[in-house]
Amino acid sequence: MLANFIPFQDPYGGPNFYPFDEDALYEINIDNDGDAVEDITYQFQFDNKYRNATVPTGPGLDGAETSTAVAVINTGTIEMPADADLNRVDTYTVKVARDGAENGKSVVDANSGKRTFIKPIANIGQKSIADYAAYAHQHVYDVTLPGCHTPARLFVGQRREGFFINVGEIFDLINLDPLGSRDSGVNILDGKNINTVALEVPTKCLVAGDEPVIGTWATASLPETRTLIPDPTVDKPEQTSGDFVQVSRLGSPLVNEVVIGVPDKNLFNASEPQDDVAQFAGYVTNPTLPVLANALFGTAIPATPRVDLVQAFVTGIPGLTQPANVDLETFEGAGEMLRLNTAVPVTPLGSQQDLGFLACDLAGFPNGRRPMDDVVDIELSAALGAVSADNPNALQTCDVSDPNNPQIVNEGAVVNDGASLANAGDLFMDAFPYLGTPLPGSPSEASEP
């Protein structure tokens, strides 16, 4: 499970370099019985401590020798966790809560028994951290999870941004050829990093009973009250109090960005999947993106209500990602989340298709989301009707009428943003935590004036 936070990171973004928020509660939620309510929650909280390093700076105004606090987060080269030359050490704890409990039980290091983990500092630059891949790897932990007898693996830290999309063109009234070549543009995020929470958990510790489908979504919450204080310090810049209030939520990508209407974006961020049908169903059954595409490009608008999109994002796809307890008539158990059918065999790395379901790779998005899945092209094509009953734009899709022999239909007709794996850069690794080594802040090479 990979949950990403603080996007659009320029590698050179000092002097603070993108720490997680100490006041926030970051969570990965798992629904394993198809009721759209979390059954397992992994809770992450951070503590970023400054060592207040000083250096001798000579005589002061009174003539006495003076040492002054430095203005940066490292005073020398960094090679190991909590290196002595780090002026700020970021640590975190992880807890596992079950069945809606607010407070969970601690995850511990399987080797040391410690309950506090060290997060690597961001990739400041090659002079500060000569071999960042080796440095970051020291922060991969074997951990013991409460309620799970098989060890898991844990990593939290900066990674190379693995999402590939022409962000500007998408939001500039789709300023591209949506039926053109899939590698016609650039991946504008190619030069960015991101903060990642990565947790590798045995499947048997996630599923419940005979239900192989799990649903997952990530959230971030903040204390309900924040007060600015007149005498802030680096350790206490403000006063916070009260219960945690959810302020961010993500299951399938781009739902809030291009599906949920502006008046309800904050409400979606604060909501729970179990309330989605009551609050947001109209955005899925009658989406605005096909109407906008029709006005801009003359593409056909699929017939509404969009049962295909409801299945893809809200109930799960029958026979693939729909849990047995979800009722397609009453929508009991429905809610937006990223679902994975753990019983579907994994497609070997060399055979994976970045269009996932549209390429009849049934182990790909929207059945889970592999880092290399081109979720933008898949979702754009789905919005324009690729998985609808009539498929009015004759887009590429997968005919699964014979489950034992699925067939690609209309191959190559893919609504896309021009950014594909072909122009996405070297973003991934074939081992945990899978997202690549983050780009260094220095030396930098300007690609544009």
| 448 has pLDDT over 90 | no
Q: Are 24 and 46 in contact (CB under 8 A)?
A: yes
Give me the DSSP letters along 97-132: EETT-SS-EEPEETTT--S-EEEPPP---TTT-S-H
**CA–CA separation, 311 and 318 (whole Å):** 7
Confidence at residue 449, expressed as pLDDT on a 0 to 100 scale: 39
**CA–CA separation, 357 and 405 (whole Å):** 13
Give this prediction's pTM: 0.95
Confidence at residue 446, expressed as pLDDT on a 0 to 100 scale: 53
| 51 has pLDDT over 80 | yes
95 contact partners, CB below 8 Å, separation of at least 6: 42, 43, 103, 104, 105, 106, 107
Write out the two tokens for 54.
């000083």
Q: Are 367 and 339 in contact (CB under 8 A)?
A: yes
Please give the helix or strand (H or E) that residue 240 lies within, else none. strand 238-250
* Structure confidence by residue, pLDDT tens digits, 62-121: 999 999 999 999 999 999 999 999 999 999 999 999 988 888 999 999 999 999 999 999
What are φ and ψ of residue 311, in 5° steps? Answer: -70, -40
**CA–CA separation, 100 and 25 (whole Å):** 15
Rounded to 10 degrees, what is the CA torsion of 384, 386, 390, 393? 60
390 contact partners, CB below 8 Å, separation of at least 6: 302, 303
* Structure confidence by residue, pLDDT tens digits, 96-106: 999 888 889 99
* Structure confidence by residue, pLDDT tens digits, 376-426: 999 999 999 999 999 999 999 999 988 889 999 999 999 999 998 887 778
| 338 has pLDDT over 80 | yes
322 contact partners, CB below 8 Å, separation of at least 6: 213, 311, 315, 316, 328, 339
Q: Are 421 and 440 in contact (CB under 8 A)?
A: no
The ranges assigned to domains in the chain are 2-51+71-423
Strand ranges (E), 275-328: none
Classified as helix, coil or strand, 207 is coil
Q: Are 365 and 373 in contact (CB under 8 A)?
A: yes
| 177 has pLDDT over 50 | yes
Encoded amino acid at 24, one letter? A
Percent of the chain with pLDDT over 90: 89
The number of angstroms, rounded, from the C-alpha of 229 to the middle of its chain's C-alpha atoms is: 33
